[in-house]
A and B are shown apart, each in its own frame.
Chain A
Amino acid sequence: MTIETWLQAAVADAERRGLTQAKRLLEGLASATRALRAADFNESASGHPHN
């Protein structure tokens, strides 16, 4: 799942559940997830460096 797809689905779900600050908080989490996925300690099944 891409971060963009995940964020869209998460915001929609959170708003449906009445979480008024969700969009701002989820955007912050998405930004952290982008950083996490870009880190050089991640591994890839291809055997090549992740990035």
Chain B
Amino acid sequence: MDILTIEEFSRRLRRRETSSSAVTETCLHQIGVRDGRLNAFISVMTDSARQQARLADRELSEGRDRGPLHGVPISLKDIIDVKGVATTAASRVREGHVASSDAPVVENLRRAGAVIIGKTNLHEFAFGTTSEDSAFGPVRNPYDENRSPGGSSGGSAVSLVAGMALGTIGTDTGGSIRIPAAACGLVGLKPSGGEVAIDGVVPMSRTLDHVGPIAHSVNDAWFLLNGLLGISSVRPLRPVEPSRPLSSVRFGVLRTYFCDVLEDDVRTRFENALETFRAAGGSVDDVELHNADHIAAIYLHLVLGDAAAYHAHTLETMPERYTAPVRERLEMGRYVLAEDYVRALKGRAALTRQVDAALTDHTALILPTLPIVAPPIGADIVPVGPTHQPVRNVMLRLTQLFNLTGHPAVSLPCGFSPGGLPCGIQLVGPRGETENLLRVALSCEELLKR
């Protein structure tokens, strides 16, 4: 089906060529037709979405324009509170829960005029990268229904690819926005650490969790980010240098460790993208991070410890309500020693300094998002070149670093494997400079589309 971006919808809406009600009905129709197979949604908010869409149309006809998200149907990962609706986190542990208020990001999105169309499926408690361990069944990738869409925000990404929403909001603790964006051919943004409020969101790790958008384009991600932040008067981004788009951009390629384990198809798309950026005037040179080999160990000790603290009580009182794989991995966190958690905190600080240093003379760091294409549902191990890799470890390998360090990171589509599966490229910018990062990403997006 044709892709309708938020930017294009907004243009048509203001030319009175479409309405919020019409596009909301189209999304609801797509959910009805396709979600039986894809399993992207946990709850569809049909009545309230129609009501919000009618209100958006009426406001616009009366001259009240709330900005680029006015009347836009969006989906939310079902880990974010919406008043009066269950926040299931895709787990039976949450049975009977109903949110008593909107999360602040939802309040902001409503104020920006967004139409909340429903809440999307995910890996249980966001504790996985494939979206297959869910109390509501596995989410399926529209590019190949036998494959995972990535995760943990898998249902969010699928809702967008399948035309069930025009934009979507996910969360990212180790890559859970960027991984499904890469696996589904979308733009996924993890903002800077602390930039977007995480109140009213079921936590995995309060210091690693981020809320952010998945979108069809960089400008759509920009609109959604501003909606999350409560900023309504926002214009589309423009490229850095329209005539020679990357002439002032210096990319630092993270190669050692980061490109050591890559599927051949992913490597080819990545190298092609670098060549495209060089040809557009970008400077491209390699950078190394001294402690790159320790990223996974540092991340594991922190995320396991943090998640175990949140889940300890329910692991004791209702263990049978978790899916078995998620329960077993959460239990691991209860064995992390305090001294090792503290070592991991020290390692996190070291990595943050190293990424900061790498960005002092580079505009952005660049690396693939996901070392593999979308894996088959049910696979524990995948072949990568001559090696075999655990699916979860390999999927987190290139994204988890920036949750530790808090740098903003965006995944862009960079083509397809010969088998028709999407690949993603990741750009990382200085902390607190998400807008500048997206401006560079916009130039890259234009070049990769040609």
Which residues of A are interface residues toward B (Cβ below 8 A)? 1, 6, 10, 13-14, 17, 19-22, 25-26, 29, 32-33, 35-37, 39-43
Which of the candidate stretches B245-253, B260-268, B337-345, B358-366 sits at the interface with the other chain?
B337-345
The closest CB in chain A to the CB of B340 belongs to A33
**Complex Cα distance A39/B297, Å?**
10
Beyond contacts A19-B331, A25-B332, A36-B294: 7 other A-B pairs, Cβ-Cβ < 8 A, are A21-B325, A22-B331, A29-B304, A36-B298, A41-B346, A41-B347, A43-B346
Residues B335 and A10 in contact, CB atoms below 8 Å apart: yes
A42 to chain B: closest residue by CB: B343
A17–B331 alpha-carbon span in the complex (Å):
10
CB distance from B26 to the nearest CB of A (A): 44
| A32-B400 Cα distance, complex, nearest whole Å | 15
| Cα distance A21–B380 in the bound complex, in angstroms | 13
- Checking A19, A26, A37 against B340 with a beta-carbon cut-off of 8 angstroms, the contacting residue is A37
- Residues of B within 8 A of A (CB-CB), count: 25
Known: A32-B296, A35-B297. A25 touches B291 (CB 8 A): no
Cβ-defined contact, B329 with A39, below 8 A: no
Instruction: Among A1, A10, A36, A40, point to the contact of B344 (Cβ < 8 A).
Output: A36
Q: Is the CB of B328 within 8 A of A20?
A: yes
State in angstroms the CA–CA spacing of A7 and B324 once bound together.
Answer: 21
Q: Nearest Cβ distance between residue A12 and chain B, in whole angstroms?
A: 11
Question: Which residues of B are interface residues toward A (Cβ below 8 A)?
Answer: 291, 293-294, 296-298, 300-301, 304, 324-325, 328-329, 331-332, 335-337, 340, 343-344, 346-347, 349-350
Secondary structure dominating the interface of A: helix
3 closest A-B pairs by beta carbon, nearest first, are A32-B297, A41-B350, A36-B297
A14 to B344, CA, bound (A): 23
Q: How far is the CA of A39 from the CA of B344 in the complex (A)?
A: 10
Contact A21-B328, Cβ < 8 Å, known A36-B340, A39-B294: yes
Chain A, Cβ-Cβ closest to B348: A41
The dominant DSSP class at the B interface is helix
**Do A6 and B337 touch (CB < 8 A)?**
yes
Q: Which of A13, A20, A29 contacts B336 (CB 8 A)?
A: A29
Contact B343 A36, beta carbon cutoff 8 Å: yes
Q: Which residues on B sit within 8 Å (CB–CB) of A36?
A: 294, 297-298, 301, 340, 343-344, 347
Residues of B within 8 A of A21 (CB): 324-325, 328
Q: What CA separation (Å) do A39 and B349 show in the bound complex?
A: 13
Residues of B within 8 A of A39 (CB): 291, 294, 297, 343, 347
* Cα(A25)–Cα(B393), bound, Å: 12
16 chain-A/chain-B pairs, Cβ below 8 angstroms = A1-B337, A10-B335, A19-B331, A21-B325, A25-B329, A25-B332, A29-B332, A29-B335, A32-B300, A33-B297, A33-B301, A35-B293, A36-B343, A36-B344, A39-B343, A43-B346
CA distance A37 to B346 in the complex (A): 11
Q: Which residues on B sit within 8 Å (CB–CB) of A10?
A: 335
